[in-house]
Amino acid sequence: MKKNEHSKTNEILECFEQISKIPRCSKNEKEIAEWLMNWAKEHNFEARMDKVRNIVIKTPGSPGYEKSPVVVIQGHMDMVCEKTPDSPHDFSKDPIKFVYDGEWLKADRTTLGADNGIAIAMAMVLATDKNIAHPPLELLFTVDEETGLTGANNMAPGFIDGKILINVDSEDEGVFTVGCAGGVNTNLSYPIEYEAITAGYKQYKVTAGGMKGGHSGIDIGKGKANALRILGRSLYQLKKQDIDLRLVDVKGGSAHNAIPRDSFAMVFLPANDAEKAKNTIAEWSKVFNSEFKATDPDLTVSISENNEGNFAKVITAAKTQKVIELMLVIPHGVESMSPDIPGLVETSNNFANLKVENEAVKILTSQRSSVVTKLQALSHRIESAARLAGGEAKSGEGYPPWQPNMDSPLLARSLKLYEKMFNKKPVVEVIHAGLECGIIGDRNPGMDMISIGPTLKFPHSPDEKIHVGSIGKVWDFIVELLKELK
């Protein structure tokens, strides 16, 4: 590990490296939860786990702070597990490999998991440092944040006692987050039918890849390419050339909150149309490169003969057409901007995932909005698109927006302290991404909350990296803030 001038940064990164050896993809938090419970036992901290494996670890206040109001330090255990196509990494067992690049820490062709493992590491170091003055602490670690905040959603009222919460899941040092969008996921299913492969047809693979992807909340307003949308447009252009293309498989995307970077479609088409298909794809690859040259300079679309899969049948012509049209009609990107906060995306959708499974095309979308009624309206629109095509759709329960409280005593104290410590004013913002604060506040009325964190770039993608120097600044701020919360 690269040594840093800030001694606590080294300690935090050492702890983070231990955490990063443990598998913790969303919905696979059992091992990390048990590890944390054992850690609490080793340090004689009171700890409990609820039915979904959320954990709260309680540490007493330091001398003079025993009767101070309890402060909750909160983060989530799970991480988005994304990797590059050439990575051999197995998230179910392999440790994340750290790569130091100047002032930044990243991983070897995978997500780093600093979102939100760095919060766990900081909280653990904080709890064991005997030289820090602080009120009684509750370290709250939730599960499954990345696939719908289901850990926070299933946390029972009264699981925590504190009414002051510091969430360490924001991604820009010097920025205080005081509100966020709500969200809901929708699952669509479109039934498909098969028929025999026509003589003289050959199998090809259409691939759309090389896109940057990114976080569907933070990056949705940047106009990045969506690999599923690019693939759908490519297939549509092949059909426009009167090529009798038949789908057999199509796949792209992973997590609901990650913009798809790669996708492919296995197709059969007449052998004598192969040259026309290659020319069409080559032409449209140039079009896409031009459209997304600023955001996705490495975008590629290709078609090649391929014999993977041993397919014995193809999707009918009518159903192939419907699937392609459904790929085009599912919305992706910004739906509306906030009329109240300049530059803030108010409502959006991420066309997150598509696959063929059990004789149906399955699609996952993820909607966000800071306005509940607009979130509902966009979800209803997507559900209606599925039904109009002849499919089914079901939206989940979702999670509420976190409405900002600009009169928050915690915010006022934090603003004053940050300016005093660093001789500059922090930025106060509401974000389009989802944070668990909205749900936790809803479950625990009267909660005073703020979200902070070290600088993190490109979360939810293999380009994820954390600015090492910002870790120490956030640490110093939390330490000083806790001293004042007596």
Which whole number is the average pLDDT over 246-262? Answer: 94
pLDDT at 389 over 90: yes
Which whole number is the average pLDDT over 459-486? Answer: 95
User: Looking at the domain that runs over 184-395, which CATH code has it been given?
Assistant: 3.30.70.360
To which CATH superfamily is domain 7-181+401-484 assigned? Answer: Zn peptidases (3.40.630.10)
Higher confidence at residue 59 or residue 309?
Answer: 59
pTM of the model: 0.80
What is d(CA 70, CA 135) in angstroms, rounded to the nearest whole number?
6
Per the prediction, the chain carries an average pLDDT of: 95
Which whole number is the average pLDDT over 248-258? Answer: 92
Task: Give the pLDDT band of residue 4 (cuts 50, 70, 90).
Answer: low
Model pLDDT, residue 323? 97
Task: Give the pLDDT band of residue 397 (cuts 50, 70, 90).
Answer: confident
Q: Do the first three CATH levels of 7-181+401-484 and 184-395 match, i.e. the same topology? A: no
pLDDT at 460 over 60: yes
Model pLDDT, residue 1? 53
Model pLDDT, residue 309? 85
pLDDT in tens, 170-200: 999 999 999 999 999 999 999 999 999 999 9
Model pLDDT, residue 2? 58
Instruction: Give burial (CB, 10 Å; 0-12/13-18/19+) of 321.
Output: middle
pLDDT in tens, 90-132: 999 999 999 999 999 999 999 999 999 999 999 999 999 999 9
Q: What whole-number percentage of the chain has pLDDT above 90? A: 90
pLDDT in tens, 65-98: 999 999 999 999 999 999 998 999 999 999 999 9
Which whole number is the average pLDDT over 241-248? Answer: 96
Model pLDDT, residue 433? 86
- Which sequence spans correspond to the domains of the chain? 7-181+401-484, 184-395
SS (H, E, C) the chain: CCCCCCHHHHHHHHHHHHHCCCCCECCCCHHHHHHHHHHHHHCCCEEEECCCCCEEEEECCCCCCCCCCCEEEEEECCECCCECCCCCCCCCCCCCCEEEECCEEEECCECCCHHHHHHHHHHHHHHHCCCCCCCCEEEEEECCCCCCCHHHHCCCCCCCCCCEEEECCCCCCCEEEEEECEEEEEEEEEECCEEECCCCEEEEEEEEECCCCEECCCCHHHCCCCHHHHHHHHHHHHHHCCCCCEEEEEEECCCCCEECCCEEEEEEEEHHHHHHHHHHHHHHHHHHHHHCCCCCCCCEEEEEECCCCCCCEEECHHHHHHHHHHHHHCCCEEEEECCCCCCCEEEEEEEEEEEECCCEEEEEEEEEECCHHHHHHHHHHHHHHHHHHCCEEEECCCECCECCCCCCHHHHHHHHHHHHHHCCCCEEEEECCCCCHHHHHHHCCCCEEEECCCCEECCCCCCCEEEHHHHHHHHHHHHHHHHHCC
Model pLDDT, residue 442? 86
Model pLDDT, residue 6? 85
Among the residue ranges 172-176, 319-323, 393-397, 473-477, the one predicted with the least confidence is 393-397
pLDDT in tens, 20-48: 999 999 999 999 999 999 999 999 999 99
Supply the residues annotated as catalytic.
78, 145
